[in-house]
Amino acid sequence: MKQAKAIPVLMYHHVSPSPGLVTVSPATFENQMCWLAENGWTTISCDNFSGFLSGRPLPDKSVLVTFDDGYLDNWVYAHPVLQRYGQRAALFTITGWIGDGPVRSYSGQNVVLPVTPDHRDCKRAVKELRHDEVVMRWSEIDAASAAGTFEFHSHTHSHARWDQLCVSREDKRERLAADLAQSRTTLQARLGTVSDHLCWPQGYYDQDYLEVAQSAGFRYLYTVEKGVNTPATDPARIQRVVTKEKDGHWLGARVCWFSRPWLGSLYAKLSS
């Protein structure tokens, strides 16, 4: 078995027919996932990835697909594509935004689909406490988990930037600690488990954030920084590749570059 030298980590937010920020269309997402499947790439779990960072081998052409926030369109449009190609993704969910209710329909079921607004309208809905209109429900999280299309990890409980909301360092640390504790408690209660993988809200972290998260039991911390992940990578600074409204060949070039340490490092430096 040819072993992976580096693991590309892809970052998605929305898969939706509503174009805009941090969004790929359903057709583009399918094209990208089709390219991975047809070219021999395996979508791995976070446990696979953390094992790789600890020195356990993974096959070449391994890739970790991640989603941030947990918007409804992830269920409506990304879930059926992942299911169709036998692939999986890790979803970093904001536990304080998730509500209860029946499972909604998804693409391919030949029924009327829920509205999936663009990113700005999703943010507006959350601000107005209309989370359920734009965020996956617990029932959908359970269904995706059972189907094997998504695994779920913490993106905090509130998605708040405590560095901006607090006037003192002590208050920032206390509020972040409480936020992370609530996220872990909620995931444990609703899913029966909570992992040591955490994605930073809005990509921000500082030394206080790192220390508080590690004290809370999180070891693998995901950033929005572009770069290569090898067994030598600091697990507190996992780097990801931002996806775009580009076809599978575009994505294929990126995963190939970021699976080669020297080439991915060079590309990250030149494109920064």
- Paired tokens of 38: 């047809």
- Inside any domain, residue 3: no
What is the tens place of the pLDDT at every residue in 79-126? 999 999 999 999 999 999 999 999 999 999 999 999 999 999 999 999
- Inside any domain, residue 4: no
What is the tens place of the pLDDT at every residue in 148-187? 999 999 999 999 999 999 999 999 999 999 999 999 999 9
pLDDT above 80 for 263: yes
3-state helix, strand, coil in the chain (%, to 5): 45, 15, 40
- Inside any domain, residue 114: yes
pLDDT above 80 for 1: no
> Could you tell me the CATH number of the domain that includes residue 73?
3.20.20.370
- Paired tokens of 14: 């929305």
**The pTM of the whole model exceeds 0.85:** yes
**Of 234, 189, 174, 195, whose CA–CA distance to 92 is shortest?**
195
The pLDDT of 210-227, averaged and rounded, is: 97
Q: Name the DSSP letter for residue 20.
A: S
- Inside any domain, residue 215: yes
Neighbours of 1 (CB within 10 A): 7
pLDDT above 90 for 52: yes
- Inside any domain, residue 125: yes
pLDDT band at 272 (very low <50, low <70, confident <90, very high): confident
**Of 64, 42, 38, whose CA–CA distance to 53 is shortest?**
64
- In the three-class reduction of DSSP (H, G, I as helix; E, B as strand; rest coil), residue 258 is classed as helix
The pLDDT of 18-32, averaged and rounded, is: 97
Place of tokens 């809200």: 201
- Residue-number span of the structural domain to which 102 is assigned: 9-270
- Paired tokens of 83: 């299911």
- Inside any domain, residue 2: no
Domain count for the chain, please give it: 1
The reported pLDDT for the residue numbered 270 is 86
Contact criterion met (CB below 8 Å) for 119 and 21 = yes
Contact criterion met (CB below 8 Å) for 208 and 221 = no
The reported pLDDT for the residue numbered 267 is 85
- Paired tokens of 159: 């998605």
pLDDT above 90 for 76: yes
CA of residue 242 relative to chain centroid, distance: 11
Secondary element (H or E) of residue 249: helix 248-258
- Residue 43 sits at φ, ψ, to 5 deg, of -85, 125
